[in-house]
Each structure stands twice: as C-alpha cells, then as structure tokens.
Amino acid sequence: MRTTWLLTALGASAFAVASPVNVERAVSDSPFSLYAYGTGLSGLRLFTSGNATYVGNYELVGDDQAAPVIFTKQDDDTLTGSPDTSVTSTASWSNITFYVPSPSSSKHAVGFAKSVGDVPEIVTEFIFYGAWIATIDTTGTLQTLWYVTPTETDGIYSLKWNATGDSTEGKITIALRTTAPAS
C-alpha cells in the first residue's frame, strides 16, 4: 500500500514529493512529540489517555492515564505512541498506533488504537513535510486537515481531522508540527 502510494506520488509530482521524503528520514531517526499551532494556540502539546487525542496541558484533565505522547516512526510509516515518562509515570498504555479517519469516513475523531484492525476506515501512514505532519492520498497530494474543537476544560482542545461536515462551534484550523514552542 505504502509503495503504491509513493510510486503514484512520484509519478504525479516528483518534485513536490522528493523533498518531504528526504526530510522524513531525518524525522524518523529519533522519537518526537507533536504540537498544535493556530489562532490562539501557540504550540500546545498532543496528549492522550490511550484513545482520543487532545492538545493542551494534560495535567488539567485530572486523569492518571493522561500523558503527553512520544512518537516513534515505524518502518511502515505508521506512528506508535508511548507516554512521556520524563513528565509522568502513571499512564499504563504504550506503543499504540496513531490514526486519522480515511477519506471515505464521515468521522472526525483522531485517536490511538492498540490494534488498528479494531477501528474501521482509518489512515495510519503519515508523511512529514519539514516539521509538518500530513497524510498522502492516492493521487499523491499531501493532506493536512488538522483542526481542534474546545473541550469543557479551558485550554484543552480535542484534536480532529477534516472539518468538512463538522458544525461544532469554535473550530480552529491548526498545523500539527514536531517543533516545540520557543520557551
């Protein structure tokens, strides 16, 4: 599947894809975190309690399973996540696979799964364009459809994908990047 996508991508736009593939190698070398940037969001870190994804300060949710995610890129371009044990050691999930809804899905939830076979209509392969994380569709076009919606907790947002058809109030389009905010 991955090979087919890449060949299609190269055929459709060799120039556009040549550089992200190179950069992708650099990203894959070491574990990384993801941060949301957008209007009013100056680099909020991605966290989870093992399934749904959020950005913001995980400490505000009061759940001992909540932890910022350290991602590792696998050889098949999937991303597995584990808790950042340098900040919290109470979460019991680990090595879970990151996904977004597939183009044929009308869902918006971004999440993690223990076994991706358990979740229908998802995409689990990601590509990096510099520090930006995207998917690549069958025509070789990079897709970055990340957005967030507010939660009941101030400063914490649900991370979602493809706002088409989502009428939730307060949606904010974001870029999801591997670059931490300057402190």
Ligand X SMILES: *[C@@H]1O[C@H](CO)[C@@H](O)[C@H](O)[C@H]1NC(C)=O
In angstroms, the CA 176 to CA 156 distance is 15
Residues numbered 42 to 101 that lie near ligand X (CB under 6 A) are 51-52, 74, 80, 95, 97
Please report where in the chains the tokens 């109030």 appear, as a residue: 169
Residue environment code for 85-111, b if the CB has 16+ CB neighbours within 10 A, otherwise e = eeebeebebeebbbbbbbeeeebbbbb
The count of chain residues that interact with ligand X, using the rule CB under 6 A, is 15
Minimum CB–partner distance for residue 182 and ligand X (Å) = 32
Q: Give the nearer residue to ligand X in terms of CB position, either 53 or 128.
A: 53
Residues numbered 98 to 157 that lie near ligand X (CB under 6 A) are 103, 106, 109, 111, 143, 145
**Half-sphere CA count of 27, side-chain side, radius 13 A:** 30
Please report where in the chains the tokens 């993801």 appear, as a residue: 34
Q: Is 33 in the site for ligand X (CB under 6 A)?
A: no
Under the rule (CB under 6 A), what is the footprint of ligand X?
51-52, 74, 80, 95, 97, 103, 106, 109, 111, 143, 145, 162, 164-165
